[in-house]
Amino acid sequence: MAKRIFVAATGQNVGKTTTSLSLLHLAQKKYRRIGFMKPMGPKPGMYNGRWFDKDAVLVARVFGLQKQLPCMSPVLVHPDTTRMVVDGQIPLDELPGRIVRCYEELEKQCDFIIIEGSGHPGVGSIMKLSNARIAKLLNAPVVMVTGGGLGNVVDNIHMNLALFRQEQADVKAVLVNKILAEKRDTTIDYLTRAFADEPFTVLPGFTYQPILANPTLRRISSLLDLPLHGSRRDVGRIIHNVQIGAASTQRVTELLKDSSLLIVTSSRDELLVTLANLYQMKEYREKIVGLIIPGIAPISTITQRILDCSRIPYLRTFKHTTTALHQIITEDVSKLTAEDTEKLDLIRSLAENSIDFDTLDKLAC
């Protein structure tokens, strides 16, 4: 029988998938055969001609588990699924059996399995498949991932515990993510004392790493639905800063920060030419990830030639304003992809230094 852990979370964007990747990486050091399951997938995507949850595809590609994919994503939620459920077009009594059968097939192939929930613990209730119900269905001990803090963490944990206890699912640990580095020890100390009467263990996860939330050029191209021109060598490079090229050319170059994506309107020929030339210099290549060029005015012929010759990566848009672009990019929550090798390497390194896998492994069953 494979050991298993159900990874739940108090809400979205607290690092659930990052935690699953981390635990699988650490498990791979101890167990010969690892596996993953996203029992209810709310983010369907097409892969090799079939529909799977995007997180299942991500894990399969990162760990080479493509053969497991048919069992990793047993229930998918498409945009019209919830309406079909209410209309009685989807037989809900068949779904639990589908999940169990897929898990049993996975268990034959694995020694250690991570089961990842969807969103907050109540997600899927309309299908009678909340995180808590699935954890109980698979008899999997639960690790609940939460963000950093004290009062809000305690409030969120207790609110979510109610659902797990209602379903008689066993919460074994709380993993605290996105902790400020200078408050790491203090935060864990206070939370451990705040939950002293609870039957679960409080464990530290990752310290806050803004780099993991920052987008790549590939992500921005996808987000804006714009083709990437120029060099694609650094398409997976992480963007640390987004700067608007509104000041004079000299001032913009003086204010350049590391790994910056610059938004420069199509009429700023001098600035576009300067940035294209700077991109070819090693000391500036570290600062310039690429450009987004908005504006209805055409780029002049000579400026276009210089951009193309420099191979500086750029996106060209006629429908977005500078302000809108900045807002879209800064408000986006970047999700991991299998191509984000820089982020994935960082996650592996952080996992080895931040997560107590031995304790979690003992809690697994």
What is the separation of C-alpha 94 from the centre of its chain, rounded to a whole number of angstroms?
Answer: 30
Distance, in Å, from the CA atom of 8 to the CA atom of 76, rounded to the nearest integer, reads 18
- Above pLDDT 90, what percent of the chain? 75
- pLDDT over 90 (residue 210): no
Look at the block and give the residue holding tokens 């964007």: 13
Cα maximum dimension of the chain: 71
Nearest to residue 41, comparing CAs of 19, 17, 14, 25? Answer: 17
Strand partners, 45: 52
pTM equals 0.82
- pLDDT over 90 (residue 106): yes
Q: Using one digit for the tens of pLDDT, what is the confidence trace for 3-32?
A: 999 999 998 878 889 999 999 999 999 999
pLDDT attached to residue 181: 85
Nearest to residue 131, comparing CAs of 139, 140, 122? Answer: 122
Q: Using one digit for the tens of pLDDT, what is the confidence trace for 161-182?
A: 999 999 999 999 999 998 888 8
308: helix, strand or coil: helix
- List of domains in the chain: 3-208+338-363 (3.40.50.300), 215-331 (3.40.1390.20)
pLDDT attached to residue 208: 82
pLDDT attached to residue 13: 78
The residue count of the chain comes to 365
Q: Compute the mean pLDDT over every residue in the chain, rounded to the nearest whole number.
A: 92
- pLDDT over 80 (residue 333): no
5 burial type by CB count under 10 A (0-12 exposed, 13-18 middle, 19+ buried): buried
Distance, in Å, from the CA atom of 75 to the CA atom of 52, rounded to the nearest integer, reads 9
Structural element, H or E, at residue 278: helix 269-279
Q: Span 82-99, mean pLDDT? A: 90
- pLDDT over 90 (residue 188): yes
Distance, in Å, from the CA atom of 185 to the CA atom of 203, rounded to the nearest integer, reads 11
Structure tokens at 293: 């060029």
Confidence of residue 335 (pLDDT cuts 50, 70, 90): confident
Structural element, H or E, at residue 75: strand 75-76
